[in-house]
Amino acid sequence: MTISGNFLEIELGKETVEIKSWEELFEEHLGRKKSVRELIGGFGRGLNYFALLQNTYDDFSKLFAICTGFLTGHPHFGLPMTCCKATMIFLSPMKRKGRRHGISFANAGANFGNEVKKMGVDDILIFGKAKQPVAVLLDGTGKGVEMELREFDPDALVFDTLESIANEYNYATACAVGPAAFKGVKFASAHFSTPLPGKKFGLPRAAARGGIGLVLSAKNIKAIGVKGIDEKFPKPRLGEEEKRIVKEINRGLAGAATEKYRCGGTWGGNFDFLLPAKALPAYNHSKLLGEEAEEVYGLWRMKCEEKGLKVEDEECSPCPIKCVKRVKGSDGTIWRLDYEPVALMGCDTGVFDVDVVLKAFWLANAYGLDAVSTGSAIAWYFEYNLRMGKSPTFGDTHALLDLIKKIAVREGIGDVLAEGVKGASEKLGDEDIAMQVKGLETAGYPAWSNPGYAFAVRGMCHTSMETYNVAIGRPDKVHEIEWWISTLKKGASDAMLVQSGGFCHFARKVILPALPTLLDMYTGVKTDEDEIERSGLQTYLLSRAIDTVAGFDRTDDTLPERAFRCGTTREWMERLKDRFYEEMDFDSKGRATKETLIKYGLSEFAYLLRI
């Protein structure tokens, strides 16, 4: 078994920590043994804690969960490569209906999930609030887990915080929030240290979306450090055939299925895909650029390298994909360039200078900001000013960098933009150009070709509904409703499995088909592809049920005004909703019902959630 069946319960107000059994907790309250969904772990298992223990949806600071997957762990324990994910689950400050908040998640690579399991637990639940901003240091190297709370400067930059946790307190594996979180920025993020072989550190990885940083700061958590020992990791016992299967999967992870991200990274890979299709969003998504648009050459990796830009690979150790591409700017700034921040902080703001975008991405991470939401907020503000005949507007490089700092400390117009695109547009106007769904700003893909944004768990997020690029490659299907129904159903299941199993999003083409075999190998539970897909759908439906309790309904399943073009009409979207709700057994208002949960094997939650 690669799961321990335990979770760590932390009460910050009482300063207590206790190891408990999630298997016993679920059996006691749900009246059954653990399910396939719960064994897979991550977001799927984490939803149980919120259904059982949250009780209220108007306080996003009550419960914060960190959940690993059954595949989370280091390859030297016999697991495939790329399996280093832990999922952070919380009520989102950005996803709000009245006074209530919807469910959300964020995750990152690095080594955090592996180290959690080396403490002898699968999950961590954090309740309450510390008396002052602290680093929560969890030491699982001895018997049980000991906790120490160290007072910490809330204004410290992310990089300084992670360095201090590593050097002063000897926690190589940690996550931290920046000053933006303690200033109350809605889209504050969390960042994870990346230990590499030879006692080196890679660039921190971000669990960025949904306001995770603000949730942690509401608990007075500045950082969380974790360390365990190999002896506590729940190691599988693999025979020769199982070892052969792992080797075959690892070869697949280094093969054609991951070539796009292995060779170009997300930055190069997605530019190379979207530009020939004339589908690269720019200028607050008001335009879609193709490879003939010369302004984009300043950010297109292929063109930048032709001009001498040096790009180096970096992995979440160990990983053959190495999607992180480290870049050194002309001013000496060393950071990475990923597609989403380049698209939102560059193309969407009209800034096509790779050095400026590199600096902007560095600043966002230093202050602890979701770079995607930050870029989208500034892009919206630039277009708002353009409409009003004011400045700054698109292409203003100085304003881009200055606004990032102003947002982080909520100074001047930064105080308004720190509320996110939804909040800023509600206050200033021009909601028709606000690129958001359920409060979450857009990812870097066209909205007209992805109605899945409307139904995605997090909002306008490409990784919580695996439909973001499918129609770009199938223009003949983009307005065929029945094709979308099957695509949305599979997209929902696949996305939830990726957010639950502990493996990298870019490994999904290799890992997802192998899940029945891997679940048997690592947990002893025999299943098939149909049951695996059903487990993914259960996770989606349970998240939908929690959101139903929080008040979300059909009116929230929508797209930005700017999405209604190229044949995607409001009338067509309403017809798609009707069919999707029918297929998923929701009521006509898009709400999960008792019958929905019963049909999909979640009947025990109908009572718990009072649906």
pLDDT at 219 over 90: yes
Averaged pLDDT of the chain: 95
Cβ pair 18, 125 in contact under 8 A = no
pTM above 0.85, yes or no: yes
**CATH topology for the 6-238 domain:** Aldehyde Ferredoxin Oxidoreductase;  A, domain 1 (3.60.9)
Residues 500, 384: Cα–Cα separation, whole Å: 39
Residue-level pLDDT at 298: 94
Give pLDDT, residue 206. Answer: 94
pLDDT for res 477:
86
Lowest mean pLDDT among 351-365, 472-486, 495-509: 472-486
Specify the pLDDT at position 202: 83
Q: What is the pLDDT of residues 77-98, one digit of tens each?
A: 999 999 999 999 999 999 999 9
pLDDT greater than 80 at residue 196: no
Is residue 55 predicted with pLDDT exceeding 90? no
Q: What is the pLDDT of residues 288-299, one digit of tens each?
A: 999 999 999 999
The pLDDT score that the predictor gives to residue 199 is 61
Answer positive or negative: Cα dihedral of 124, 125, 130, 133. positive
pLDDT (mean) for 403-414: 99
For residue 110, the model assigns a pLDDT of 84
**Region of poorest pLDDT, from 37-41, 110-114, 219-223:** 110-114
Residue 589 in tokens: 């208002």
Q: Residues 6 or more apart from 112 whose CB is under 8 A from it? A: 66, 84, 86, 173, 174, 175, 192, 226
Average pLDDT over residues 485-501: 97
| Distance between first and last Cα of the chain | 35
- Cα–Cα nearest to 333, from 299, 366, 362: 362
pLDDT over threshold 90, residue 315: no
- The mean-pLDDT minimum among 196-200, 361-365, 482-486, 539-543 falls in 196-200
Could you read off the pLDDT of 522-577 as tens digits, one per residue? 999 999 999 999 999 999 999 999 999 999 999 999 999 999 988 889 999 999 99
Residue 100 CA to residue 540 CA, distance in Å, equals 19
Report the percent of the chain where pLDDT is more than 70: 99
270-279: average pLDDT: 94
Q: How far is 259 from 267, CA to CA, in rounded Å? A: 13
What pLDDT score does 609 carry? Answer: 82
**Using 50, 70 and 90 to split pLDDT, how confident is the model at 223?**
very high
Q: Does domain 254-439 have CATH number 3.40.640.10?
A: no
In contact, 25 and 547? CB cutoff 8 Å: no
Q: Is 160 exposed, middle or buried (0-12, 13-18, 19+ CB in 10 A)?
A: middle
Backbone angles phi, psi at 522, to 5 degrees: -100, -15
User: 177 forms bridges with which residues in the sheet?
Assistant: 190
**240 three-class SS:** helix
pLDDT at 200 over 80: no
What residue ranges in 240-310 does DSSP mark as E strands? 280-282, 287-289
* pLDDT, mean of residues 359-368: 97
* Average pLDDT of span 126-152: 98
Cβ(212)–Cβ(88) below 8 Å: yes
Which uninterrupted H or E stretch holds 424?
helix 420-428
8 Å CB contact between 442 and 94:
no
Buried b (16+ CB within 10 A) or exposed e, 441-451: bbbbbbbbbbb
199 or 390, greater pLDDT = 390
CA atoms of 583 and 537, how far apart (whole Å): 12
Better-predicted residue by pLDDT, 510 or 202: 510
- How far, in whole angstroms, is CA 572 from its chain's centroid? 29
| Per-residue pLDDT tens over the stretch 64-80 | 999 999 999 999 999 99
* Residue closest to 261 by CA, chosen among 15, 582, 510: 510
H/E run at residue 195: strand 190-196
Beta bridge partners of 132: none
Comma-separated ranges of CATH 1.10.569.10 domains in the chain: 254-439
Query: Is pLDDT of 175 > 70?
Result: yes
Where in the chain is CATH 3.60.9.10? Answer: 6-238
**pLDDT at residue 337, rounded to an integer:** 92
